[in-house]
Amino acid sequence: MLVDLHTHTSASDGELAPLALLQMQADAGVGLTAFTDHDTLDGWDRIAAMAVPAVGLPRLLPGVEFSVDAAGREIHVVGLGFDPAHPAIREGVAAQQLRRRARAERIAARLEYLGVHGALAGAELEAAGAGLGRPHFARFLVASGRVRTLDEAFHRYLGRGKPAACRMEWPAMDEATGWIRAAGGRAVLAHPLAYKLTRSKLRELIEQLRDCGGDAVEVALPGLTAADMEMVAQLTREAGLRASAGSDFHAAGGWNLPGRIPALPVGLDPVWEDWI
């Protein structure tokens, strides 16, 4: 059975509505999946409210992707298979949304100072009810004619060190893993090579996740070389953690489509065996 335990819907920064993503995954042969939207359960809630018939669609696990702070670096921790109604997970999501809203207001204030008016309202329009993030400000800057492309929006205004960039005060890793574990879920280090760490620093990060009560590392992702995947697999084995797999899908037409996930290297314990 194909699994994809890292995907994004329009509830955060993904392109597809939740039901459309489930249908796309079904077409790709995915049998078990999770919406891991950034700091929100809105995608899960939309499907639960629709009471969608399960026939022909993948089984959907509750999921979320929390941003956390680890030694001053933003790291992402995926939560899987938790009780979506548990107070700990709901309180964690609410706290993250408050952080995101506060940053959005700071970004809008900086853009206002730079002569870009109406940025907060414009970003909210682009978000269409999703949690506000920098991509929504980038889309507003394109739509308002301030820049031509999303890349230019980040290069001129929103990227690290740019005039409208605002540092986020994310929670410590153990706080986020605590939310996930209290709700009965599994905490997974997301896309470990995205942080561009040396092997020794990545080992330290994986061990930190373990020491914070984490369960697994995303080992199988699209686009990794065999050597890179084996390196992550080896560090995962050494830490005594389990392995996860996910596309990190955001939009159709990209390289990381649902179902296009390599097999796990040998000697790893798949975290999804808890749900099959």
Whole-number pLDDT of residue 226: 93
Whole-number pLDDT of residue 195: 97
Whole-number pLDDT of residue 252: 86
Q: How confident is the prediction along the chain (276 residues), in pLDDT tens digits per residue?
A: 899 999 999 999 888 999 999 999 999 999 999 999 999 999 999 999 987 666 789 999 999 999 999 989 999 999 999 999 999 999 999 999 999 999 999 999 999 999 999 999 999 999 887 778 898 999 999 999 999 999 999 999 999 899 999 988 999 999 999 999 999 999 999 999 999 999 999 999 999 999 999 999 999 999 999 999 999 999 999 999 999 999 999 998 877 888 889 999 999 999 999 999
Q: What single string gives the DSSP state of each residue in 87-148?
A: HHHHHHHHHHHHHHHHHHHHHHHHHHHTT-TTHHHHHHHHHTTSPP-HHHHHHHHHHTTS-S
- List, in sequence order, every residue forming a beta bridge with 90; answer none if it has no partner: none
Whole-number pLDDT of residue 53: 67
Whole-number pLDDT of residue 132: 84
The tokens describing 159, both together, are 């990227």
For residues 135 and 123, what is the distance between their CA atoms, to the nearest angstrom?
9
Pairing mode, strands 216-220 and 186-189: parallel
Whole-number pLDDT of residue 52: 65
Crossing angle of helices 134-143 and 87-113, rounded to 10° = 40
Whole-number pLDDT of residue 275: 97
Whole-number pLDDT of residue 131: 78
Q: How many CB atoms lie within 10 A of CB 151?
A: 12
Instruction: Enumerate domains of the chain plus CATH numbers.
Output: 2-92+169-275 (3.20.20.140), 101-158 (1.10.150)
Whole-number pLDDT of residue 222: 93
For the chain, the distance separating the N- and C-terminal CA atoms, rounded to the nearest angstrom, is 10
pTM of the predicted structure, to 2 decimals: 0.92
Tell me if 248 sits within 8 A of 6, measured CB to CB: yes
